[in-house]
Amino acid sequence: MRLRCAVLDDFQGVAAESADWSVVEDAVEVVALRRHLEGEDALAAALAEYDIVVTLRERVAFPGSLLARLPRLKLIVATGMRNTVIDYAAAEARGITVCGTQSSGTPPVELTWALLLGLARGIVQENTALRTGGPWQSTVGADLDGARLGVLGLGRIGGRVARVGLAFGMRVSAWSPRLTGERAAAAGAEAAASKEELLAGSDFVTVHVPGGERTRGLIGAAELALLKPTAYLVNTSRASVVNQDALLAALHEGRIAGAGVDVFDIEPLPAGHPMRTAPRLLATPHLGYVSRANYRTYYTQAVEDIRAYLAGAPIRRLP
């Protein structure tokens, strides 16, 4: 009897074509679920008959309470090598193996710049006007050359974002709790003395710190108040880093020029969520990791993880 594998959140219906699943088809029946399962009860009911789950990034949480309701579950494959929403201790106690895959930092770097450029030049507003008979030229773009780019978090992704800023002729500053002047200089950036200095002095601020309790609410109402009224904020990192209610208030009150957001407190966003209609907001449905190359990596290595587990020698184990 074959094991059953659920591939979660295959919204675009591309999991099957992104890897060669045929190498495990004799031992595993693979089912792609294209609709998001919201809430523990829905997950427990839908996944009760599955032995393996492939979960996309950190979209679905697996707390101990859910794992206890999935008696058949033997293997979780998480795309990426860091997942903060799986209860690893509970998984281990129940004999559930957890494995990961590699994930490229290139797609979020590129999306960060798509959002930043879209904001700076009013791309969506101007395109909409052009296609609907609206005014010819209704915005005045913000210049990047000579502007200050503030990078909050200068790690694997933030460092690459900083270097692109230099290519546009921007002055780049960076801040994170443990950032040194030497590390900042290596990325062509100047280390800001404080988070507050970075925010107050930047024309564009982009967020690239990891999620977790240490960074939760790192940018709240007080921090947003430091931004210039002509400044833009971009967050392709984690929703928890920027207080969503405070950001909505700043956008509605016109206290910042705009924001580009790819991550949200609730995903997928409900139809009537205020982030769907906020002014001065350029938003995308968590596309930071969504690229053909990344999906090939995710699902090809998910197949490898499954094969290795079946052979009794799991690879890329988490945490």
280 close to 255: Cβ distance less than 8 angstroms: no
252 is known as an active-site residue: no
Q: Which 8-state DSSP code applies to residue 51?
A: S
Residues 6+ apart with CB under 8 A from 43: 37, 60, 66
CA distance 31 to 46: 12
Q: How many residues belong to the chain?
A: 319
15 close to 38: Cβ distance less than 8 angstroms: no
Catalytic residue among 148, 223, 286, 304: 286
Catalytic residue among 29, 36, 267, 280: 267
Across the beta sheet with 148-152, the strand order is 190-191, 171-175, 148-152, 204-207, 232-235, 258-261, 281-283
208 is known as an active-site residue: no
CA distance 241 to 257: 20
CA distance 12 to 32: 10
267 is known as an active-site residue: yes
Q: What is the H or E stretch that residue 195 is in?
A: helix 195-201
As a whole number of Å, the end-to-end CA separation of the chain is: 30
Which region, left, alpha or beta, applies to residue 101 given φ > 0 means left and ψ of -120 to 50 means alpha? beta
> Which residue is associated with the tokens 């924001």?
259
* Catalytic positions: 238, 267, 286
